[in-house]
Every structure is written in C-alpha cells, then in structure tokens.
Structure 1
C-alpha cells in the first residue's frame, strides 16, 4: 500500500491522518479557524474555498497569508454545488483560484473526478508544479452498486490520491465501501474513503484498518454529514 503523505504529514499504519475543514466566509474568518486548528491535534487543514463569499477577488497574497499562518499542510478545495459544495462550477474562476493555490505551494488540491477532462490544462499545471492532486467523488444520495468501477476509473487518471464518499442506506452499504476500499488499497495510490451520515460514522474511525488514509473531523461546523468532532474522533481512534 502506498502511504499518503501531504506536506509534512504522513499517515501511520492503521492510523489515518486527520483533516479539519476550514469554512470561513472571509479571509479573516479563515485565519481565525486556521489558528484554532494549529493548536489542535489535527494533522491537515482542508481549506474549503467555496465558502468564501468574495472568492472572485481572491488574490495570491491571500493564499500566501493562509499558508504562512498554517502550521499544518493545507488541502485546497472548491467543492462544487453538484457534489455538496457552496458554489456552482465556474471554469474561469475555478482555474484562476486553483492556479493561485498551485503557485503558492499548497500541500494538495482537490479536483472532482467529473471535472478532470474539463480542467485538463489545470491538471497539467499541477503535475508540472508537483502539487499532489486528489481525485474526489461524492455520492450524497446512495452508495453506487459499481464501486469497483468508481475506484477503477479514478485510478486511471493522473491523480495522486483517490477520494470516494458515499451515502449509505444500510449497514451493508457501509461494509461494501470498506471492502471495496480494502480491495483497491494496494493498487498504487493512497485512498481516502468515508460513508457519510450517522450510519456511516464507523468508517471515519475504522477506515484506516481497510486502507483509508485520511479522515475528517470538526472543530466547529461540519462540512459534510456525519463528521465527528476532533476530540471524539481522537478518543475513538486511540481506543
């Protein structure tokens, strides 16, 4: 299994990295959340830039300020409305802000699988700058019955990390995701998986045993259904 490394953070055996999302609507609010995470036992920060109300005016200096003040590696993510985010996809703005992130040296960028072809030039730029790319897919209504194809197609892209999040309807759905994750964990790319909602919460604590190398926790508002607060997650992981 290829070990996930994001900046200075490396996943341990059976112990996934813990990322905390930053959902501030202004740069000032983002800085406040970053400072809170700095003082926590989280490993990684996910900056959800789709929460910024003034994203159109984001500048390189803003990104540099966040990175300078962050003591932990930063994943840069614009989650589109189609996959549960705050903003619809806007290719011109999307490519603009992601190029700022690549230029300023974030630890990784998250690009949804459905966008890889549309932003192919951006993918090339990230690869050239050696900024890791997370290929992400989010299924907010169910768990696809063809998860092997979902993982398989993502693995054919040039992404460095594969992320899949599903919404289970039964415990069987959760077991299916965990089993599929374990099946593909040795295919050469690190995996990040979770089943969302209360039903899927166990994937956030035991997923590491099945090869998922990063899990999400909160220090405030959740950015996805079923996220546990950081203190609870740490307790469960250390049991």
Structure 2
C-alpha cells in the first residue's frame, strides 16, 4: 500500500514538547491559544520539525482572544520555522484577505471547519470541504459522530474530495468516530493530527501521537509482523 501518503502532526501548546515528537511526526502544530507566552515560544524555537500554527477561538474549540488572535497568527507566519497556518472557516469567510496575506510569508493555509455536536448532511459537508478548499491549500473538517453512519459519511466525503484533487484532512469526533483517525488515510486524509502528550482524558476520541503513529504504521504498511493482502 505504498500509494497511501500522509503526514503525522503532533499537537501541543508547549514547544518544549517538540523533541518528544521527532520520532513519529513530520510537523508540530503549535496551539497558540492555549500557550503561555506564544510569541516568545516561537521566537526561541530551535527544534527540528517544521511548525503548523493555529490560534483557535472558542467556537473552534480554542481559547484565543478576538482582540489579537489574527495579528498573532500573521506575526507567527513570518517565522522561518512555520510551514503552515491553520485558520477556521468562519473567520476566513469574513476576513478573506487573510489567506493571501498569510501566503505572502510562503506558508500553506489550512482552512478548518468544526462541528462538535453533529455531522452535517452529506451534501452540506461536501460543500463545506469545497468552501475550505476555495480559501485555503488544505481543507480540514472535524465533525462529531452521533451514530456509526456519521463516520461512514465523513469517510465518503473525504474520499470524494481527494479523488477530485482536493487536498483534504478530516476526522469524525467522539467514540464512534475514533477509528477514522486511523483509517482516514485510506480515503485521502493527508494530515493526521494527534496530541504529543495526552495529559487528560480524550474528550473527542483523540489518540496520543506515538500510539497513532504505530497504529497507522501497522494498518498501512503492515508493521514488522503483519502482512496485509493487496
């Protein structure tokens, strides 16, 4: 299954965690909204892994203040260590200029849609993925699975988008969608996000980075002891 390609992203609000991610991750997502002195952390960062920065407001599951979160993102994008910036769809809808200004720093833009309560109908989710793609370089969707069929719907939408040439990433949140964090790569999800350290109980089915990397290695490549039938 060598045609399946994906990158691992370890998420954290403390860049001192970066060495713990090196064995498994291709990127570190720096959650600025949860960080202490985020600008200072970026300035002092000398790690090996390139960064994805995000600064999520409350409606996107974060805690960033509206007064300066976009300014902080723009400042972060100018750092040589930053390869991508993640911004929520609701913001980019009203601040369409932001994507172009971010790209002036030669970073890719991930536009993300979040729904922590449900999974939209299939046609709506497909439109949301395309809208994220319209503004950004990668579309990311995270939607809550109320029933098993919601996870199937998410995977179907990822597959359709990927097959049409959209760079896409996505997960089905919650216990019923947890498996999509592992098998989503088979349907085109190209970025796999996981906390570097999961210090508290997983709220939405998160899997710690090292564990997810091992699960993906075994599932996609067979690991050291498993042969998958093509």
- TM bracket (short chain): 0.7 to 0.9
Alignment of structure 1 residues 184-199 onto 2, 5 Å: 184-199=161-176
In 2, the alpha carbon distance for the partners of 1:224 and 1:44 equals 23
Alignment of structure 1 residues 219-230 onto 2, 5 Å: 219-221=196-198, 225-230=204-209
Instruction: Call closer, same or farther: CA 1:238–1:104 in 2, change over 3 Å.
Output: closer
| Of 97-106 and 73-82, the range deviating more from structure 2 | 97-106
Q: Which string of whole-angstrom CA distances, capped at 9 and with x for unpartnered residues, describes residues 25-63 of structure 1?
A: xxxxx232123223x3222100000002445xx35xx42
User: TM-score with structure 1 length normalisation?
Assistant: 0.81
User: TM-score with structure 2 length normalisation?
Assistant: 0.84
Matched, 1:94 2:42: no
Match of residue 125, structure 1, among 91, 101, 108: 101
The offset of 1:174, in angstroms, is 0.2
Q: Find the counterpart in structure 1 of residue 33 from structure 2.
A: 50
For CA contacts below 8 A with separation 6 or more, give which structure has more relative contact order.
Answer: 1
Matched, 1:113 2:89: yes
Q: Find the counterpart in structure 1 of residue 217 from structure 2.
A: 238
Match of residue 17, structure 2, among 7, 12, 33: 33
Q: Find the counterpart in structure 1 of residue 226 from structure 2.
A: none
- What is the total number of aligned residue pairs between the two structures? 212
In 2, the alpha carbon distance for the partners of 1:51 and 1:78 equals 8
User: In angstroms, what is the RMSD of aligned CA positions?
Assistant: 2.0
In 2, the alpha carbon distance for the partners of 1:224 and 1:80 equals 18
Q: Identify unmatched segments of 5+ residues in structure 2.
A: 219-230
Asked whether the equivalents of residues 15 and 30 of structure 2 are also in contact (C-alpha less than 8 Å), the reply is no
